[in-house]
Amino acid sequence: MGNLPHTYGNDADCETLEITVEDKVAQLEIILSYTAFKEHAVLVRSAKVMNKSQGSVSIEKIMSLSLDFPTSDYDLVHLNGTWAREAQITRESILPGIKVLDSKRGASSHQQNPFFAIVDPYATEQQGEVFGFSLVYSGNFAAQIQMDAYNQLRLNLGINPFQFSWKLGPGKEFQTPEVVMVYSQNGLTGMSQQYHSIFRKHLLRGKHQKTERPVLINNWEATYFDFDESSLLQIVEEASSLGIELFVLDDGWFGKRNSDTEGLGDWIVNRDKFPEGLLSFTEKIRNKNMKFGLWVEPEMISEKSDLYSQHPDWCLQVEGRGKSLGRGQYVLDFSRKIVRDYIEVVLTNVFSEAQVDYVKWDMNRHITEAFSLEYPAEQQREIYHRYILGLYDLLDRLITKFPNILFESCSGGGGRFDPGMLYYMPQTWTSDNTDPVSRLKIQYGTSLVYPIITMGAHVSTSPNHQVGRMTSLEMRGAVALAGNLGYELNVVKMDGKEKNIIAKQVSFYKQHRNLIQFGDFYRILSPFEGNECSWMFVSEDKNEALIFYYKVLNQASEPLKILKMHGLDSEKNYYFEGEQMPVGGDELMNSGIYLPANINGDFKSIVWYVSTDKQY
């Protein structure tokens, strides 16, 4: 796969079929690759073009997948949204003509995830045929769903042909990204579990592939840019006493970065905030039995920065024309090796000196003026793709150099939540929106494709900074517990009762962390379809489970409601925590349990733990 991210496995895991198609006139070969995984209902498809001629050819459009169905009697399911409202599930009928889902932003985008599924019109979460398609790529993509005059269906998925071409010289080859195709006879949950499993086992890599994620606290919403070492150490002191394991220093620690309009590119510690440097600060954190994490945004450069004053040519731009500022910053030209080499050096210095355990890698604006001063006019339509290849190259160098660092990707939240990034960074900041009601839909939708262990989920303050909603700490915690738990608030300002609640949440999460991060995930009630949401986690041996139930708005005189569980063993008996009498798995799945009728107030949650072992 060259330097593209990809699924992997040994001979015991998978087998690959390659079909070579030859154009004798143009002297081109296309190798179509199909990899089948033995323990998964998964087929991975990609294509490679090889130029056997003596001249150059121009690739104007090349898809990773083209697949025909004899009928179009399906629904289309996809994930769309925007900043702070990612992964919204849309299900619609497939109609005559062409439907295009795409991104032209230089990243896979908040607006459309590089995934779609076609499903039986009667398929539910638990039953019916589902065909899923996920592109292992982080840049511009296009998915085309076409219903012709005979009700046949053609599906295409790959690099977006918008502003794309590729000059392929004699003897050169071009590799497309992979498409991971999943088949399920057991509805959308069956599809999701296949994706969760294949991505966990055959896409994530390195030390953190199978390692439990730490509970973290991030200072961003607690301080924004207004902090110094002393104020941060107060947060560290309180967080450590609550059992939190990792402190993440967010934006504002470097250069002259006191707002979001300056300093990007100057990756040197701000001595006004950290007089003794980051290593001294890190050592103080470790003395509190916590690890240290750091926020960076290496793909960007501020107009107000030393780096820009020295190298204005290093950002993407059209020569002789103006450049578009976004958030006071430009996009560095990662298609250029000199730029990537520089970023590698400065980040290596920072990560090594500060002995970093965790990195949050952000990208807060999308690409405009996708042109490079290094390439001739006839290759400018290569820049979108070359940028992504350059990013992958740099990430591969850094994770090779720092195998112990846990990298988390971010693009204003979920703006680049895709399998391509997960190949390098095994988790993603799911959304900048930490409101628990909003997060129900965001996390529910994201789980359609991505494993829970890849989803960052934080508890923030109330009222919420994104939507202004007031919710209880219990509700915020119950939503964040269903991901990689973190906190993004100032624990110093909390009272004793609130700190006690956080300490209990952290303890509970640590007790059940392995189940949440590696268990089988089942969606039960959809927040897209009503006032409630429910999901659950079941261990591989089916001996324990966690069931989450959320109610958004309370209603007067509601009828009795039953919640039926999924994924348990019908032959086993389960004990609810604190209960003496067992309940059969068959009863819990077929008859269910009554939901409490005396839930008072809005934004409420319940978490049940059940186990085959009697707990009391």
Positions annotated as catalytic residues are 362, 432
- Alpha helices for 265-328 (secondary structure H): 277-286, 306-310
Distance, CA of 431 to CA of 341 (rounded, Å) = 30
Distance, CA of 175 to CA of 334 (rounded, Å) = 19
| 384-421 per-residue burial string, b: 16 or more CB within 10 A, e: under 16 | bbbbbbbbbebbebbbeebeebbbbbbbbbbbbbbbbb
Parallel/antiparallel/unpaired status of strands 246-249 and 141-147: unpaired
Sign for the pseudo-dihedral over CA of 571, 575, 576, 580 = positive
Sign for the pseudo-dihedral over CA of 496, 502, 508, 511 = negative
Distance, CA of 274 to CA of 438 (rounded, Å) = 36
How many Cβ atoms sit within 10 Å of the Cβ of residue 2?
A: 10
| Residue 29: its H or E element | strand 28-37
Distance, CA of 81 to CA of 63 (rounded, Å) = 24
- 406: closest CA among 351, 367, 443? 351
Whether residue 520 contacts residue 567, with contact meaning beta carbons closer than 8 Å, is answered with yes
- Say whether 540 sits in a helix, a strand or coil: coil
- Say whether 27 sits in a helix, a strand or coil: coil
- 196: closest CA among 425, 566, 521, 598? 521
Distance, CA of 505 to CA of 243 (rounded, Å) = 10
Distance, CA of 536 to CA of 13 (rounded, Å) = 28
Rounded to 5 degrees, what angle do the CA atoms 67, 71, 73 make? 115
